[in-house]
């Protein structure tokens, strides 16, 4: 019988953005088999109701469990903040969530002002409210909904004039209020880092959760004795329920990736 440790790590997101998390996991654990599910047809999750986000997260989880995934990484801030509690109650498999790195930013800031760029669903969630309320009283958090950013990324329009216009609009108030850390509260947004740097300059730290999530995934796999110890030629499977061209673009440096479109 195949050891459970050989089963794949399952990852899902509302689109292609969670591949930023997948890349960190792949770098940290290059032997591990992975299955990534991109629910691009329903992207973005940030403007959907909590009930709909939970429904989609359950559907995604069950698809990955059918593929015998040994752990599920919810590579979507909105799905984590709205649905992970229910997923953990419902399924007997470890879950890793993604939360905006507000706490690390609050420890790094020298101006006591941090900006957070996230989806409406994340900023309005109970989990985000709890994380924000636990910060020191002297920390000012400037919240900004990144309306339109996910849609442009899903279309592959990262360096478009429209993207630059939106980011300039969203980031300028943070610069004016002397924020020295900006938290990327959506797994799509790391793909905008270079563009953000051009707008805000080098004195502002851009913080995302990717490496921390990969480390936590490895820790939980080790704790449950699910970490793949033997040498393995890994399989990287990607499933998307929309045109796969954007996903293929983000994975072009991984020629061994298997990308399949599915009616899901």
Catalytic residues: 76, 186
Give residue 194's Cα distance to chain centre: 17
Q: Rounded to 5 degrees, what are φ and ψ at 52?
A: -70, -40
Structure tokens that stand for 1 in this block: 């019988």
**Which residues sit opposite 1 in a β-bridge?**
none
Quote the radius of gyration of the chain (alpha carbons, Å): 18
d(CA 56, CA 197): 33
SS3 readout for 100-125: CCHHHHHHHCCCCEEEEEECHHHHCC
């Amino acid at each position: 019988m195949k050891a459970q440790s050989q089963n794949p790590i399952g990852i899902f997101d509302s689109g292609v953005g969670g591949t930023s998390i997948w890349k960190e996991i792949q770098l940290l654990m290059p032997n591990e088999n992975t299955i990534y599910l991109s629910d691009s047809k329903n992207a973005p999750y940030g403007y959907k109701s909590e009930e709909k986000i939970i429904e989609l997260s359950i559907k995604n989880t069950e698809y990955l469990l059918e593929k015998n995934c040994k752990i599920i990484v919810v590579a979507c801030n909105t799905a984590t903040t709205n649905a992970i509690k229910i997923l953990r109650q419902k399924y007997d498999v470890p879950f890793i969530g993604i939360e905006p790195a507000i706490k690390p930013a609050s420890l790094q800031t020298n101006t006591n002002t941090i900006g957070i760029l996230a989806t409406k669903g994340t900023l309005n969630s109970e989990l985000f409210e709890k994380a924000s309320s636990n910060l020191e009283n002297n920390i000012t958090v400037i919240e900004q909904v990144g309306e339109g950013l996910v849609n442009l990324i899903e279309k592959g329009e990262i360096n478009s004039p429209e993207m630059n216009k939106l980011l300039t609009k969203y980031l300028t108030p943070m610069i004016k209020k002397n924020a020295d850390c900006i938290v990327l509260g959506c797994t799509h947004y790391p793909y905008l880092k270079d563009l953000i740097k051009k707008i805000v300059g080098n004195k502002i730290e851009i913080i995302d959760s990717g490496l921390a999530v990969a480390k936590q995934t490895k820790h939980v796999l080790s704790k449950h004795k699910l970490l793949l110890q033997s040498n393995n030629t890994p399989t990287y499977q990607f499933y998307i329920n929309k045109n796969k061209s954007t996903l293929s673009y983000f994975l072009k440096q991984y020629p061994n990736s298997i990308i399949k479109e599915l009616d899901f």
